[in-house]
Structure 1
Amino acid sequence: MAHEALVDGERLTGHDWVPSDPIVLLPTDAQRWDPAENERTVPVGFRPVGSVAGCRAYEAAAAAFWKCINTAEADDEADDPGALAAVGCLRAISTIIESVSRLPHLFEQIEPTLFLIMRRMLTPDGQDVYEEVLEIVSYMTFYSPKISMNMWSLWPLMMEALADWTIDYFPKILVPLDNYISRSTEHFLTCQEPDYQQSLWNMYEEH
């Protein structure tokens, strides 16, 4: 017998919805994000679907994010809605990661798409969305079954940013750093290039 549910006025049946599935978010129009809502609200155009139907929702959210970033870069206005929508897209991605946290096999699949966002937005290009990107890094280093070498390559970016312009984010940067050290201790202790222990010591000396 097919499952059936009513979500936002839309009837979902069969593979569209599974009662035991975590809820994820599928973007329909990221530009409709309402910044007047509370900080955990995702774009208005993101509708919930079951994880079976929306297991690739992160790809749509990532595509929407890059579209918003391109719009923001093309617009010099301080209150550009594209920049605000980009924040909403990243919050939606964080929600998706939380939703699939019980499905560790998906993390290898979603990492390449999200890695492109994290790698660029942990640089000065991401100053407007740095807090949201740190949250994604924190989730990826906490929920992934194994911290990949790609994820480890983000460590130097965070250290460089901390030495230059992200001191206000120091408490939030400590969250993913703790995940790296506690969940991939052997690599942290044995890797010499880069030397994570030395970079951590330098950070504490400076701050």
Structure 2
Amino acid sequence: MCYDRYVSICKPLHYGTLLGSRACAHMAAAAWASAFINALLHTANTFSLPLCHGNVLDQFFCEIPPILKLSCSHSNHLRELGLLVFSICVTSGCFVFIVFSYVQIFRAVLRIPTEQGRHKAFSTCLPHLAVVSLFISTGTFSYLKPPSISSPSLNLALSVLYSVVPPALNPLIYSLRNQELQAALRKMMTVYF
């Protein structure tokens, strides 16, 4: 998404050539492949863990930190720590790409001479940036928070925040940009309020 925004704002005349169907297919394939490899490594490691504290998790889906708490082998903890470092490196590469893209976008937007043009450009970028920031910040906090502040309710809230809310917000945010939907919402608000 950030590359799409970057090309559409910073290089609008080259949009068709830079973001053709082939480039989109390559980007999607790279994202799916890296996510699949990451998930496969974590799943293989999880299945090799000996569980000595039962097998009941206080989450609505299996997360790595709660599963590690159930394990009684410290060597598997180190192996999982290595996998988490690998995941953090891959994620950090994506994060640096996103930050670099948005720095370039904001530089280009601030050079737009009209306020209406700047507003329109910011309105296309800020919803995506808000959703990505919510996902990254809650996911990072969930995995890197100290064990002293860990509680089942906090873990559940963080899991929902980074796994359910961003995918639910994306369609909502992008549908709210639709003019007909905005008009229908305004009409509904005037009827009820």
TM norm structure 1: 0.25
| Larger of the two Rg values belongs to structure | 2
Larger strand proportion of the pair: 1
TM norm structure 2: 0.26
